[in-house]
Structure 1
Amino acid sequence: MRGARSPSTSTTSTTSPRRARGSRATGQSPTPSIAGGRRCPTTSGSTARSRASRRVPPRRLLVTGLSGLIGTALRKHLGTKYPIRGLNRRPVPGVECVQADLGDLDAILPAFKDVDTVVHLGAAAGDRRSPEDLLSSNVIGTYNVFEAAHRAGVKRVIFASSGSTVVGWEREPPLSHIVNGRYEEVGSWTPLTHETPIRPGGLYGATKVWGEALARVYADSHGMSMICLRIGRVRAEDKPMAPREFSVWCSQRDIVRMLEACIEAPDRVRFDVFYVLSANRWSYRDLEHARAVLGWTPLDRAEDHR
C-alpha cells in the first residue's frame, strides 16, 4: 500500500510486532469528584493490584464528551475506580462537570486543574457533519484540549481517533470484499497496522489524522504522553448492525477496557497509535500492537452475534 505515511510511529521501548488475526455496562454509582479528593476502590487486574500495592492514588480523569456513548460506558465501568470530571456542553447527573464549548480555550482551562489524565472523546462525528462543525470541534477543539492539558501540566492525553483515518483502503479488494460481506471472494489479506499509510475516506477522517499529528507534536515538544486510539464501530445496541460491522465492530466492554489500559499504561508510552476493535474474525486492522505494548486483548467477537 502506498501513500502518505502515518504520524503513528510509536515511541516506546517495544518494537512494532506482527499482527495477530483475529459483559455489558451495568449499574451506575455517583462518581467521585476530583475537587473532593475522595479515593475510590480499585477493580481487579494486575495493573490495578500493582498500583494498590504501592498505595498509589487512582488517576484523576477529565473526560470530554462524557455524555456520549463511549463516555457513558466509561463512567458505568470505571466511575467507581477513578475520580472523574466531565467537560461537556450539558451537565451529567452525579458527576462534577465543567460546562463549556471545546472551541473556547479560555472557557475550558479551569476543567484541567488537578487532573492527571485527559480522555478526549468529544468530537463532531461522521462525514455528514458540516465542514464548519468538523473544523470547530475536531480541529480547533482538539488543539484547545491538548493546549489546555499542556498548560495545566497534565501528564497524559488519550485521544479518541478513528478507523476513519484509514477507511479509504476499504475501497479496494480484498478489503472491499470483507466490508461488504463477500467473504468467498476475499482470499488472503494484509492487515493494516499503526504504520500503514493513512488514507481517510472523508473530512471527518482527515480531522482525526490532524489530531494524531498534533498529538505527536505535543509528545515531542512538551514531553507529554499522547495515546491515539483508532476506535472501531461502537453501537448503543452493543452488537454489529450491518455487514461491514462484522469487521470493524467494537463492543462497549472492549473499548472501556482499552481506555483503562491506556490510563494505567507505563510512563514510557510517550506517543503511540492503537486500533481498537473486538476480536472479529474478519477484522483487517492489527490488534497485536496493543497486546504487545499495553497487554490489552479484546474479549468480545462480532461472530457471536450472527
Structure 2
Amino acid sequence: MTAKPKVLVTGASGLIGQLVITRLGDRYAFSGLSRRPLDGIPYTQASITDADAVRAACAGTDMVLHLAAETQDYDDWDKVVGSTMGGTLNVLRAAQEAGVKRVVLASAGSTMLGYQFDPASVYVQLADNKLQRMPAEARMILHTDPARPADFYSVGKLFGEHAGRLFSDRYGMSVLVIRVGAVLPDDKPTIVRELPGYLSHRDLVSIIDKTLSAPMHLRYDIFHAVSNNARRWRDIDHSRRVLGWEPMDSSDTFDPDTLG
C-alpha cells in the first residue's frame, strides 16, 4: 500500500483547516500548526510568526498547505506584516530548508476585489444586486490580470504570491496559489455582496485536493477558486483546464431577497 503524502496544515484549527483535515484525511497524513490545540492529528501549538516552530513543524513533511494569516484586523498593517507576510516567509523558508516538495498557498479573492471600486463597472453592479448574472459580453477577470487588492490583508496575500514565485524559481519548489473565494462558516452567504465570489465548502476542499495531488512538474501557478455562480466575474477556466477542477455548487440556489 502506498503511504499517504505527509501534509502540514498551518492555521489548522481554522474553518478551512478543519474542513480539509476532516474531509481529506483518507487521502493525506495531516499534521498541524496552530495557536490552538488540535484533535486527531499530530500538531505543533505555536504562532506562524515563530520561525523555529515553523521549521520544526515542516521537518519530515512532503507538502505544506499554508492557511495561517491575520484574519481579524484586515487593515492593521503591523499584524498583516507580522502574520500574513512574515508568517508566509517563515513557511517558505522552512519548507525550502526541509526539502518540502510542494507548498500550496491560500491567497484570497480579495486580491482582485479592487475591480469593484469603480461604481460604474459590471463587477460592482453584480455585487450590488443590480445584475443577477455576468453579462455574456462582459470580460471575466483572469488570474493573469493585474491584481487590485481591496485592503491591507490582500496586499499581504500578494506578498505571499510573489514570494512563492521567487522560491519556486530559485529553489525549484512547486508552489501553487489558490485565490480562495468567499468561504463562509455556515456554507451560505449572509449578504448579497457575497454571491459573486461564493465558494462552497465542497468546492473549496475539492480544489485544495486538486492542488495537493497535481503533478509535481507543475512548478508555479495561480488559480481562482469560486463556485459556479451566475454572478461570478473571476475566471475559473484556468483552474478547470490545468487542475481538472469542476465546481459542483453555486450561489444561485440562495435567494438574494433574504440576504442583507
TM > 0.5 between the two? yes
Structure 1 portions without partners, runs of 5+: 1-54
1:87 and 1:184, CA in 2 relative to 1: closer, same or farther beyond 3 A? closer
Which of 234, 237, 245 is the matching residue for 2:194? 245
Count of matched residue pairs:
252
Percent sequence identity is 36
> Distance in 1 between the 2:133 and 2:5 partners?
48
Alpha-carbon spacing, 1:232–1:288, altered in 2? closer, same or farther (3 Å): same
From 19, 25, 29, the counterpart of 1:79: 25
Residue 131 in 1 paired to residue 77 in 2? yes
1:61 to 2:36 alignment: no
Match of 1:149 among 78, 95, 111: 95
Q: 1:232 and 2:178 equivalent?
A: no
SS of match in other structure, 1:208: helix
Q: CA 1:226 to 1:184, structure 2 compared with 1: closer, same or farther past 3 Å?
A: closer
Residue 66 of structure 2 aligns with an amino acid whose one-letter code is: H
| Letter of the 2:149 counterpart | P
8 Å contact kept, 2:61–2:100: yes
Structure 1 stretches of 4+ moved >3 Å = 126-129, 184-188
Q: What's the RMSD between the two structures over aligned residues? A: 1.5
- Counterpart residue type for residue 220 of structure 2: F
Deviates more, 1:98-107 or 1:272-281: 98-107
String of CA shifts for 1:87-129, please: whole Å, max 9, x gaps. Answer: 1112111111011221121222111111111000011126545
**Quick check: 1:261 aligned with 2:210?**
yes
Residue 274 of structure 1: aligned partner = 223
Q: What is the one-letter code of the residue matched to 2:67? A: L
Q: Alpha-carbon deviations, 1:216-264, whole Å to 9, x = none?
A: 0000000000000100000111012111111000001101010000110
1:288 aligns with 2:237: yes
1:149-168 equivalences under 5 Å are: 149-168=95-114
C-alpha distance in structure 1 between counterparts of 2:11 and 2:60, whole Å: 19
Decide whether the 8 Å contact of 2:106 with 2:178 is kept in 1. yes
SS in 2 for 1:240: coil
CA contact (8 A) 2:73 2:79 kept: no
Q: Which moved more, 1:119-128 or 1:59-68?
A: 119-128
Partners in 2 of 1:146 and 1:156 — Cα distance? Answer: 10
User: What is the CA–CA distance in structure 2 between the aligned matches of 1:156 and 1:185, rounded to whole Å?
Assistant: 36
Cα gap change, 1:121 to 1:186, in 2 (>3 Å) = closer
Letter aligned with residue 179 of structure 1: A
Aligned match of 1:16: none
Cα offset, 1:71, TM superposition? 0.5
1:1-306 equivalences under 5 Å are 56-125=2-71, 128-172=74-118, 173-183=121-131, 187=135, 188-306=137-255
1 CA distance for matches of 2:134 and 2:75? 33
CA 247–126 in structure 1, closer or farther in 2 if over 3 Å, else same:
farther
Are the counterparts in 2 of residues 249 and 277 from structure 1 also a CA contact under 8 Å?
A: yes
Task: Classify the secondary structure of the residue corresponding to 1:103.
Answer: coil
Counterpart amino acid of residue 295 in structure 1: G
The match for 2:258 is: none
Superimposed CA distance per residue, residues 120-141 of structure 1 (whole angstroms, 9 cap, x where no aligned partner):
0011126545221111111111
> Secondary structure of the residue that 1:57 maps to in structure 2?
coil
